[in-house]
């Protein structure tokens, strides 16, 4: 588990109504809203009906690494977002800053891609990743976790945004117990039952086509590549759905069941990242040094 950092000093929320800020030369748009009800309502008012609902969903994906949504958001909290609009696609959030009255902390995260990284990811100002990683993980590399058990959407697994063809690995020693059941919804799918107690079941959905050599009864080992990610079944974009169940069928949270770790930027990327943080804070109207970011706790 990762210890929490000391609380950052709170900046008092501004009393004015949420208003969009014109896009600066960088192409970013900046909205600053004060929560006075549902966060989505405030973001739709600020960003517009075309962008606001999707922007709210992206923001919530980030918030869940810091707090329970919506219960930890309260009236008077300040949420600032720097984002890019993309016609026909959800917006890209490049920075998020949240001043929480209930938690008495200020949170910040910045989107950044290292020189050799396959994807941009979200980092705290100290260079640690915002998201906690599973260890073992079904994927060594992915762009973002887009759904969690605890995000309030009623989803039964963890969704990893990753390109088609990403290697998918077993997270424990076990036996393939099901293959391609409920194909219309799950697409190409595998279920692995754990060899040792507590005999959990891991479900891997929306995979690329599975070869005939992958069959029920096959033994697999932790860390072994068992398939590749895809976009099959009831899937709106390439991703891996990873679901964990107990022997009794009860849905388990992988972030509670598996050990976790938090990755950090390579030292060679820190100078470039620090420059991005300074530039971003200026776009948000903050001093370059900004407020200290709080490290989210592992869950």
Structural domains of the chain, count = 2
Based on the fold, state whether residues 225 and 155 are members of the same structural domain: yes
More confident residue, 168 or 8: 168
69 and 87 in a single domain? The answer is yes
50 and 73 part of one domain: yes
Answer yes or no: do 114 and 161 share one domain. Answer: no
In a shared domain, residues 206 and 230 = yes
Residue 234 neighbours by CB distance under 10 Å: 13
pLDDT band at 24 (very low <50, low <70, confident <90, very high): very low
**DSSP character for 196?**
S
Tell me, yes or no, whether 85 and 71 share the same domain. yes
In a domain, 291, yes or no: no
> pLDDT higher for 139 or 21?
139
228-257 pLDDT per residue, tens = 999 999 999 999 999 999 999 999 999 999
* Residues forming a β-bridge with 176: 192
Question: Which pTM was predicted?
Answer: 0.85
Q: Rounded CA gap, 193 and 178, in Å? A: 9
* Residue % of the chain over a pLDDT of 90: 81
Structural domain contains residue 138: yes
Cα–Cα distances (Å) from 244 to 12, 110, 113, in that order, read: 42, 30, 30
Residues 6+ apart with CB under 8 A from 101: 10, 13, 74, 76, 77
Q: What percent of the chain has pLDDT over 70?
A: 87
Helix, strand, coil fractions of the chain, as percent rounded to 5: 15, 30, 50
Same domain, 70 and 154: no
Position 84 in a domain: yes
Instruction: For 35-79, write each residue's pLDDT tens digit.
Output: 999 999 999 999 999 999 999 999 999 999 999 989 999 999 999
Q: Which domain holds residue 224?
A: 133-261
Is the pLDDT score of 123 beyond 90? yes
- Is 28 within a domain? yes
- Geometric angle at alpha carbon 137, from 96 and 118, rounded to 5°: 55
* Residue 108 clears pLDDT 70, i.e. is over it: yes
CATH number of the domain that residue 55 is part of: 3.10.450.350
**What contacts 24+ positions apart, CB below 8 Å, involve 278-285?**
280/82, 280/94, 280/95, 280/110, 283/24, 283/26, 283/28, 283/30, 283/82, 283/95, 284/30, 284/80, 284/82, 284/95, 284/97
Looking at the structure, do residues 114 and 24 belong to the same domain, yes or no? yes
Q: How far apart are CA 130 and CA 66, in angstroms?
A: 9
Please report which confidence band the pLDDT of residue 88 belongs to, taking 50, 70 and 90 as the band edges: confident
């Amino acid at each position: 588990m990762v210890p929490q950092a000391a609380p950052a000093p709170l900046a008092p929320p501004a009393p004015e109504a949420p208003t969009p800020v014109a896009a600066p030369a960088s192409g970013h748009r900046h909205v600053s809203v004060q929560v006075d009800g549902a966060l989505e309502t405030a973001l739709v008012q600020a960003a517009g009906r075309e962008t606001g609902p999707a922007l709210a969903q992206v923001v919530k994906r980030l918030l869940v690494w810091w707090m329970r949504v919506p219960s930890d958001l309260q009236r008077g909290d300040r949420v600032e977002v720097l984002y890019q609009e993309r016609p026909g696609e959800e917006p890209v959030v490049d920075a998020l800053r949240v001043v929480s009255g209930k938690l008495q902390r200020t949170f910040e995260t910045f989107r950044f891609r290292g020189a050799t990284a396959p994807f941009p990811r979200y980092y705290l100002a100290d260079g640690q990743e915002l998201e906690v990683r599973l260890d073992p993980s079904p994927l060594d590399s992915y762009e973002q976790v887009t759904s969690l058990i605890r995000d309030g959407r009623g989803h039964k697994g963890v969704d990893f945004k990753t390109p088609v063809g990403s290697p998918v690995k077993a997270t424990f020693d076990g036996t393939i117990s099901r293959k391609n059941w409920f194909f219309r919804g799950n697409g190409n799918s595998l279920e692995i039952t754990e060899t040792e107690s507590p005999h959990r079941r891991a479900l891997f959905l929306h995979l690329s086509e599975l070869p005939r050599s992958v069959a029920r009864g096959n033994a697999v080992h932790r860390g072994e590549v068992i398939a590749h990610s895809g976009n099959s079944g009831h899937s709106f974009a390439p991703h891996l759905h990873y679901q964990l169940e107990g022997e009794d069928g009860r849905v388990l949270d992988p972030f509670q069941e598996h050990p976790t770790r938090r990755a950090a930027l390579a030292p060679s990327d820190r100078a470039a990242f620090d420059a991005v943080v300074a530039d971003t804070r200026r776009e948000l109207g903050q001093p370059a040094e900004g407020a200290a970011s709080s490290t989210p706790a592992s869950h």
